[in-house]
Structure 1
Amino acid sequence: MRASRLVSILLLLQTRGRLTARELAERLEVSVRTIYRDVESLHAAGIPLYGDAGPSGGYRLLDGYRTRLTGLTADEAESLFLAGLPGPAAELGLGAVVTAAQLKLMAALPVELRDRAGRIQERFLLDAPSWYRDAEPVTHLPAVAAAVWEEHALRVRYRRWKAPQEVERRLEPYGLVVKAGRWYVVARCGGQVRTYRVSQILELHPLREERFARPPDFDLAAHWEAYRVEFEARLRRGEAVARLSPRGLERLADLMTPGVVTAARATAGPPDEEGWTRVTVPIESVEHATGEFLRLGTDVEVLEPPELRHALAATAGALTALYAGRDAPLGASRDVPLGAGGPASRPARQPGAAVRRITWKRRVTS
């Protein structure tokens, strides 16, 4: 561990030029006192490293000195594919390995390329998880990843949504996929390739003696795309016919999945005399569709099926009864994006609009 840290200090100084002891300590997650000891060890080893005192001081290498300790280990080379995904890399237990690999790669680049790579890293960030979701517990993810890499089977106890809810399965894992911050393992089970959510694995036992041969022509990306399309089509077997305002047609992409939006727009006819467009939308169930269409507010009118139309009317009536006679914040109408894919700000108040003070009372229940 200490040897790796000494190399990291050299590579950091080689790529950054000058760093203070505190900056080195923060990057390597150690104390400043530890950095002082490490610098003394590097001095003793003959490394041309010296420090400048004062506010603009710090440690730096002698001009022209470059270490040749830039060769990537096997683990570091493999982890480079996760370099843009710090969250998933950390969940796999590869956070420190990815950092070391990036550092070595930066140190090996010519100065001009190193500067360009550094600019990209400073200016772009890929944040994979979706909004408003807490991280899922993925206790067994490292063990699943090891089985994927080493091609050995797993015995798992798995929780699923249908009865029986808890089942035991023997899996031959082919690959891992992270989708919107959720981890899935693609594995062969009982002669079929299936997909399992890693957070739903309750118990796991590695079967290291039971090796399997991963099909050489298995394409994880192609399999996942086919699974995603098939899953959505299987989930949404029903259809709803609706009229959408121009704004509703535009907001559809923010409130529903890309597959649903594509299918709906493919059925769109020309706008009617009011500018509204008739579309056919794939739906999962009346209950689920009620929630989806309510988010469009008065920008949608469902025409079919009758049971969905009745469900929307009943919900709207219940809301009217609930809020009848109560003050509500101004602007809490269709102008406020509902269920958008990220933070949305309330539209600015129009000049001259009245302002009322709204008092919210806390309901106390026994």
Structure 2
Amino acid sequence: MRYEAAPVKPSTPFRRLSCLALCLGSAFATAPVLADALNVYTIRHHDSHDALYDAFSERTGIDVNVQEIEFERLLEHAEGRNRINDADLAVIVDAVRLHQATEKGLFDRTSSATLNERLPESVRHPQGEWFGFGQRTRVVFYDPRDVQADEIREYADLADPRFEGQICVRSSSNTYNQALLASIVAHEGEEAAEAWAQGIVNNMARAPEGGDRDQISAVADGTCNIAIANHYYHVRMMKGGDAEQRAAAEQVAIAFPEQGEGQRGAHMNVVGMGVMAGAPHRDNAVRFMEFMTTAPAQQLFVQDSYDYPVVAGVAPADAVTALGTFKKDTLVASELGEHLQTANEIFERVGWQ
């Protein structure tokens, strides 16, 4: 595997995990060797992904070349500007971005019995534009000294006036918030979604600022009592080397909304891959995605990203498992993109900065 940072985003090459990859090579069934290449453009990368690409090369003989790239650069390519002639496979975080890439024509539709059989319908684009291989949930972190767990049973509770001045959350320009609101539109309709968003604005402790870690830290330092954030930010704070962030994470509790009987489950977002239109090694790209449905590949993909795996029988990383089990929303991820425009119009109307 060769890793190169894309010219638009200089970067230090990621650490190689060749020994682990060589050991994993024997875990996969023998397949014909294709002395060929696969060019992967990714907007996210973690150390264990090096071993993932190496294991695929070990199994198939296909040389994997990886470049980190900004999402905007992929959209330029899709629009016919600043073309990337060797692009085979794109790895994109978030259903909103996957929708935007699909709308621009970035992907080549893929038909694969393996992908359709092994991946849940909720993480597959209905027309095969892209396929999801990891999930993240957007949940609630709270100060257990001031908020009781049974006060947050559903996302609607966050809009209750009793939480006025107590909520910290990112800007409406954040795709994670856009996806969350789009899910509420999908489940409850535009009117209910707007009422929820207005309630959140009314309950904000401050104007939106910073990322998800900043929201969690704000609960710990008393700026607010409740934060909306993706689960893995809390895990990274706990597992990272920053003592201040770890201490902040230790002070908050987590609530998974929508867990009751008849409720839909906590909102889920997706990390997806798609074959890029005009891919010179299209078959290799499809083969890699099929490889991604194997248990060892799934485990590597989520090992240090702390996403939830999507293939049945594969467990999350231990640090994620420690958060507890919960019911997941099975809304098809592509529907989040379908309601994106409505969500953004709501954000504008309610004044969510």
TM bin, normalised by shorter chain, reads under 0.3
Indicate the structure whose relative CO is greater, using CA pairs within 8 Å and at least 6 residues apart.
2
Question: Normalising to structure 1: TM-score of the pair?
Answer: 0.23
| The structure with more strand, counted as a fraction of residues | 1
Q: Which has the larger radius of gyration?
A: 1
